Structure 1
Amino acid sequence: MTIVKLHPLFVAKFNAVDISRPIDEPTFRNIEETLDEHAVGVFAGPRIDEEAQITFARRFGTLEQQNGVLTTGIKARISRQLVDISNLDDSNALLAQQDRRRMFSLGNQLWHTDSSFKRTPAKYSLLHAHSVTPEGGETQFADMRAAYDTLSPKMKARIETLVAEHSIFNSRATLGFTEFSDEERRAMPPVHRGLVRVHPGSGRKTLYLASHASHIVGWPVPDGRMLIRELIEHATQPQFLYTHRWSVGDLVIWDNRCTMHRGRPYEEGIYRRDMRRATIQDLDPGVQDRRVA
């Protein structure tokens, strides 16, 4: 295995690694150590099946069990152990413009951290490309450790102990999408997360943000939203960003504890984009729901 750095601050490409086959323990430890430093890792093809993706993902921890937010009237197209990041229905046809799955998925184009709105958030996400678009559809990543490092001392002191409320319904409401069933809403109550955390792998402080973050607990809502917006704008400056242009067979793994990401637009009514994500739970006690009982 060789490792190539793809960005001055973060992101590493792993060469000569076949993730469809068992990986020996020393090599896997090297992968984990590299991810602790670089936060985002890229593995080039070939395309692997769902079982191989799930097996590889499980080396990193416990898979999320509650993968779908939209559950009412939805038929699964892929394994329920994976998240379907595509513009396809259960018959592999392009989603209609008014399909609630398509409108919900538009929220992936907002800067976010996977599953920050769940009781147990995400540690790693592993997204694998089965089919890609000839243009558009890239994924951008932001290094939240570097973003924290460059905050002023005054801002660092200001946000050190602040807590934000996260909800999937906040990010979707930003787009005007509110078509959730009562069952779906009950399954995803809001949670509270600290704005600042220490990344366990590197020991560095990092911002923990997402479009799911609605407001700052204990603050007037407008003040909290302005602060969250200011921090996201700071963290997504060009020097902190890496843009991944997908090829079939790519698998990209990222650390949700110290990155944000977003998908870029593409011609959804013309091109098929079939991506499948395995998500690893973040079991760090320090990031569990901080809501006061």
Structure 2
Amino acid sequence: MFHGLSAFPLTPLNETGINENEFVKLIQRLVAAGVDSIGALGSTGNYAYLSREERFRVLQLAVAYAEGIPVMTSISALRTIDVLRLAEDAQRAGASAVLLAPVSYQALTDEEVYSLYYQVTCSLSIPLCVYDNPRTTHFHFSDELHGRIAELPNVRSIKIPGVPSEPEAAKTRVSHLRELIPSSVTIGVSNDPFAATGLNAGCEAWYSVLGGLFPKTCMRMTRLALEGFADEAHRLSKQLEPIWSLFRQYGSLRVVSAAAEMDNLISSPSLPLPIQPLNDSVREHLKSMLVDIKLMEAS
């Protein structure tokens, strides 16, 4: 399941709770597009703002409505004991895989991070994807540490935080990591603006925020890159540069939540406080972009 497009949907919520009906509709949208897998409760899915019970309920809904498409879910938490409990929940709910980032209030050492993955993989019966997300966790994986963790049982993919923008440098980056990990472990690119470059450089999967909202467009880009049409994939990514620019400036969560609201896919407000939505002027700018993206989605 760690190949192709893994679409990460929003978890629509406000201070009164999760809008389950809207979440289900987002999952059904991904199913209709035929995504390769669904990443429930990723960063865009607001996992860090939800209780254990809320996370379990959202995962149950994702699995129930995925119609056989593999569902991966985050089990990241501050304490190892909570990660282990979330891993149990994921397996009980029928998740096909789990996604784990080394989240911590205190800065972690390499050995502490290795110990986390070691303890978790010892008790897992489903695959695990390593979530390398230094912008959020402030932990920087070395390729050597990735190599050690990739040897652990049930580790099947690494979600890297983008690649160098220059194509040859991107290929070098992916190739170096590939030399240090088993062939059974795939490399997936996240940070959507780098997706085409990463896929063209040898990444096998795209773990996508935009794919959670506009899956057909992102599926097209993924297929083009994986089938060897690098120039076409790059051109499609260039067409999306206006929204990539907003991602870089305001964060992908705020942008995709605003886009979903404006497209009447979810209601407002849809973000957990204290996160604030995009202001009116930025939303107006986004509105013009959505016209083009919706045309791409429909083509």
Q: TM-score, normalised by structure 1?
A: 0.32
Q: Which has the higher helix share?
A: 2
Q: TM-score, normalised by structure 2?
A: 0.32
Structure with more relative contact order (C-alpha pairs < 8 Å, separation 6 or more): 1
Larger relative strand fraction:
1
